[in-house]
């Protein structure tokens, strides 16, 4: 091919010639051979040697057994057990209250009814482990299921003493109402009783009068003062 005419022509002819050679290269067919897959010889692995490191000899059957504990398969828990309740904590409290208070007397004593105890009433708590019962004005009732408790306030030796008592405690033998408040309190927590202006003071006189009247009604006999007055009138 003569190169002189190509030098006079613009570069566009080179692009056309290169495009033609590129198309000719694409038309060339290549012959390919498929690779033959080599046949793999599968051999089973040898079983591991049997070790007797974790085997024991049974004393009864004299045979070798595994030293590990083997437990039988069990059924699924969902197929045999009942579904849990919606409120688990409330169900647990109800079960414990039923166990601690089978008669339901303590639950009824601090329920939200008219006959139940209210803040401001004078209560007396008796212990099973001995000692004198503690009486005081009920300042607050904390209702927390099985953890229901009451706060009592009294004066011992001219000193204000407050004590919490769990209603469902097994060491509490009984809780009795000594005197009810004349008018229902407007608050659920009578914390203002700690102030000297509203402090009730000691409730020993109320407890003594309550025990005296209870003894009279239980025995069916007249009081000692009434008997003496009747005897003096008979002598006259």
Alpha carbon 31 to chain centroid, angstroms: 79
pLDDT for position 87: 85
> Which segment of 2-16, 47-61, 174-188 scores lowest on mean pLDDT?
2-16
d(CA 123, CA 111): 15
Nearest to 119 by CA among 54, 190, 70: 190
Most confident of 31-40, 69-78, 106-115: 106-115
- Output b/e per residue, 63-99; b: 16+ Cβ within 10 A: eeeeeeeeeeeeeeeeeeeeeeeeeeeeeebeeebee
CATH topology of domain 93-201: SH3 type barrels. (2.30.30)
Q: State the pTM of this model.
A: 0.56
Q: Which residue has the higher pLDDT, 205 or 235?
A: 205
Q: Would the pLDDT of 148 be above 90?
A: yes
pLDDT digits (tens, 9 = 90+) for 156-165: 888 999 999 9
């Amino acid at each position: 091919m003569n190169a002189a005419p190509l030098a006079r022509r613009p570069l566009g002819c080179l692009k056309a010639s290169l495009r033609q050679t590129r198309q000719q290269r694409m038309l060339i067919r290549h012959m390919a051979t498929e690779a033959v897959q080599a046949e793999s010889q599968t051999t089973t692995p040898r079983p591991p040697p049997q070790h007797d490191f974790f085997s024991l000899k049974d004393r009864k059957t004299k045979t070798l057994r595994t030293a590990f504990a083997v437990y039988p398969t069990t059924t699924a828990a969902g197929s045999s057990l009942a579904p849990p309740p919606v409120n688990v904590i409330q169900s647990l409290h109800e079960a414990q209250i039923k166990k601690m208070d089978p008669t339901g007397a303590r639950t009824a004593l601090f329920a939200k009814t008219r006959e139940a105890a209210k803040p401001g009433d004078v209560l007396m708590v008796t212990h099973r482990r001995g000692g004198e019962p503690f009486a005081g004005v009920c300042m607050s009732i904390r209702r927390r299921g099985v953890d229901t408790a009451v706060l009592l306030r009294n004066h011992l030796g001219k000193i204000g003493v407050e004590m919490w008592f769990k209603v469902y405690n097994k060491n509490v033998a009984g809780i009795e109402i000594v005197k009810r408040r004349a008018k229902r309190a407007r608050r659920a927590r009578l914390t203002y009783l700690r102030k000297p202006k509203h402090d009730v003071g000691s409730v020993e006189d109320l407890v003594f009068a309550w025990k005296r009247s209870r003894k009279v009604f239980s025995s069916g006999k007249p009081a000692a003062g009434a008997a003496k007055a009747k005897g003096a009138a008979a002598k006259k």
